[in-house]
Structure 1
Amino acid sequence: MAELRTLARPYAKAAFQAAQDQQQLAEWSEALTVAGQITANEVIRQLLANPGMDEQKKADLILETAEVKVSDGVRNFFTILAENRRLALLPEIAALFNTYRADLERTVDIDVTTAFELSDEQQQKLAQALSTKLERQVSLAASMDKSLIGGVIVRTGDLVIDASVRGKLKKLAETLGS
């Protein structure tokens, strides 16, 4: 996975720079995200691995399947990916592109898992507190897991804050076991 990310990084940076230059971040993000989802499909992955099919036809197939209106810049980017046999990297390219976009726009998606359902007011307060702490605009997605017993688990990117009763009991058990 790290190798794919390493290969995808220069393409994602180039796509991000082109999107910024053209002031089309949303269009590029949509096209790359949809294309990434399409190429993550196992049937499409096998099709992309077929050496008998022309690379440009593969790129055109992805764009047609995506059913997203794209600019010439996006179409050219897909042509470059096809020429370099890098269409299979689209899921990683899309993920990196969206990370760069979130950094630029100072936004973050946060997944919150709680033992009990949060009210809208509680979600707003939590989002506001996290927004202040992280100095970013927060988009909160809440879910419920009764096995947590109590508390909350907050996930965003590589950051995980486990303030659940289950997590604390697990830490206590590890401490007592060592």
Structure 2
Amino acid sequence: MNGLAGRYASALLDIADDKSALDAVAEDLRGLDAAIEENADLRQLLESPRYSHEEQAKALSEMLDKFGAHEITRNFVLVVSENRRLAALSDIAKTFLVELSRRRGEVRATVTAAHELTATQQKAVANALVGKFGDKVEVDVTVDESLIGGMIVQIGSQMLDSSVRTKLQRLELVMKGVG
């Protein structure tokens, strides 16, 4: 956990752990990160220097109140705002969540499938990955219909691509080599 995001995430982990609020803070940060990614106006508020600290703090405070954020999350975000580091807030949240998962021995798999997976299918994918990657595997599923069929599983830097699209691309390369 190096760099600015790592230092802030580490401090927040320590505080949340001391107050036995890791799960509540993690849930708040997941929601906050999703809101940042989905809302262009919020990203602009966080990243633009044309907004004063007071404007940013007021807007964030109202959002966190509406959100029902834990007091630790609320205070932390306001400290980040006061230190003029809001542009790094999404990175801090992601770093916090990754480090929390690492400390708990959890592994996060990103699965891209050609169609939506049922809960049973998601559980089957997680169970298949448990033996190789650890006892606790969390599966995040996204849908990309261009895969045609199959799926792509990524855990850290490892990727398993069993999509029909990739198989067709390989076949096309082989056929071009023959002709």
User: How far off is 1:29 after superposition?
Assistant: 1.4
Q: Residues of 2 paired with 1:96 and 1:164: CA distance?
A: 30
What CA deviation, in whole Å up to 9, does each residue of 1:140-162 have, x standing for no partner? Answer: 35566665455432133443211
Alpha carbons 1:35, 1:62 under 8 Å: kept: no
In structure 1, list runs of 5 or more residues that go unmatched: none
Task: Tell me the TM-score normalized by structure 1.
Answer: 0.73
Q: Which residue matches 2:111?
A: 112
User: How far off is 1:164 after superposition?
Assistant: 2.7
User: Do structure 1's residue 29 and structure 2's residue 26 form an aligned pair?
Assistant: yes
Alpha carbons 2:146, 2:165 under 8 Å: kept: yes
Q: Which residue matches 1:163?
A: 162
Task: Provide the alpha-carbon RMSD of the alignment.
Answer: 3.2
Alpha carbons 1:115, 1:147 under 8 Å: kept: yes
User: How far off is 1:59 after superposition?
Assistant: 2.6
Q: Which residue matches 1:89?
A: 88
Q: 1:63 aligns with which of 61, 64, 73?
A: 61
User: Do structure 1's residue 13 and structure 2's residue 1 form an aligned pair?
Assistant: no
Percent identity among equivalent residues?
Answer: 34
Task: Tell me the TM-score normalized by structure 2.
Answer: 0.73
The count of aligned residue pairs is 172
Q: 1:47 aligns with which of 45, 48, 54?
A: 45
Q: Residues of 2 paired with 1:11 and 1:19: CA distance?
A: 12
What CA deviation, in whole Å up to 9, does each residue of 1:80-129 have, x standing for no partner? Answer: 21221012221111111111111122223334345577676554333212
Alpha carbons 2:61, 2:78 under 8 Å: kept: no
What CA deviation, in whole Å up to 9, does each residue of 1:43-80 have, x standing for no partner? Answer: 22333425453x25523421321322422x43432232
Q: Residues of 2 paired with 1:134 and 1:166: CA distance?
A: 26
Q: Residues of 2 paired with 1:128 and 1:6: CA distance?
A: 34
Q: Which residue matches 1:74?
A: 73
